[in-house]
């Protein structure tokens, strides 16, 4: 399958790791990002979420050096609401991973890069040895829903190895660097195996 090339993909560096099919909620107030999410909602085009390694991209140029991971995930704006003047509440959904090259920062501080979009995870049924891991995720989601929390986007796919692994990666209290390494794995069953090992060590399953 040929790799999709994106030219001048807008990037949003964050202190988080977005996973495919993951839900991302943002509060956007800087003009460059307000313009970005508004344009993306209007056009349906995605922007790229990349994990910050150094510095902050909140205040623009000149504050401190900014470094971010070259591998990120495309984010599609689903909903946007002006909950107070000058601040947008934005709901996004992750789609495919991408590898970025040649990042350049515009005069307004917005980062742009060339991007190669990676193939999505192959849809694989959860292997029998990891069924307890999938069941534990289901139970966790039900428990959170009973308390009024809905951290996962619909639809749910508790029978899909990659989807289950990704959702656990979002929920588990592991370092951001570990989440980035897990997101970067192109083998969904290996990703699920590593998650399952962690859950066993923590006594969750």
* pLDDT at 13 > cutoff 80: yes
Contact 95, 46 (CB under 8 A): yes
Residues 111 and 135 in one domain: no
pTM for the full model?
A: 0.93
* Whole-number Å distance between alpha carbons of 53 and 155: 32
Structure tokens at 123: 């849809």
The Cα diameter of the chain in Å comes to 53
Mean pLDDT of the chain, nearest integer: 93
**Domain-embedded: residue 122:** no
Number of neighbours of residue 95 by Cβ within 10 angstroms: 17
Domain of 140, in residue numbers: 128-201
CATH no. for residue 162?
Answer: 1.10.4060.10
pLDDT at 57: 61
Please give the Cα distance from 166 to 191 (Å, whole number). 8
pLDDT at 58: 56
Residue 123 lies in a domain: no
Residues 146, 82 share a domain: no
What's the pLDDT tens digit per position in 119-136?
999 999 999 999 999 999
CA 108 to chain centre: 24
Same domain, 140 and 195: yes
- Of the three residues 117, 141, 173, the one that is the final residue of a domain is 117
CATH label of the domain that carries residue 12: 2.30.130.40
Q: How far apart are CA 182 and CA 73, in angstroms?
A: 13
């Amino acid at each position: 399958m040929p790799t999709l090339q994106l030219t001048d993909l807008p990037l949003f560096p964050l202190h988080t790791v977005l996973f495919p099919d993951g839900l991302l909620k943002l509060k956007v107030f800087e003009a460059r990002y307000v313009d970005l999410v508004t344009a993306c909602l209007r056009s349906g085009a995605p922007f790229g979420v990349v994990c910050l390694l150094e510095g902050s991209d909140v205040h623009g140029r000149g504050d401190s050096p900014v470094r971010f991971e070259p591998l990120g995930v495309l984010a599609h704006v689903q909903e946007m609401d002006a909950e107070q003047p000058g601040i947008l509440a934005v709901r996004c959904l992750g789609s495919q991973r991408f590898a970025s090259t040649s990042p350049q920062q515009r005069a307004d501080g917005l980062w742009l890069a060339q991007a190669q979009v990676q193939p999505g995870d192959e849809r694989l049924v959860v292997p029998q040895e990891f069924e307890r891991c999938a069941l534990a995720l289901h139970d966790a989601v039900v428990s959170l829903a009973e308390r009024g929390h809905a951290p996962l986007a619909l639809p749910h796919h508790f029978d899909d190895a990659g989807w289950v692994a990704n959702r656990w990666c979002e929920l588990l209290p592991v370092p951001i660097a570990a989440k980035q390494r897990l997101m970067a794995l192109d083998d969904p069953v290996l990703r699920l195996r590593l998650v399952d090992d962690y859950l066993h060590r923590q006594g969750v399953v």
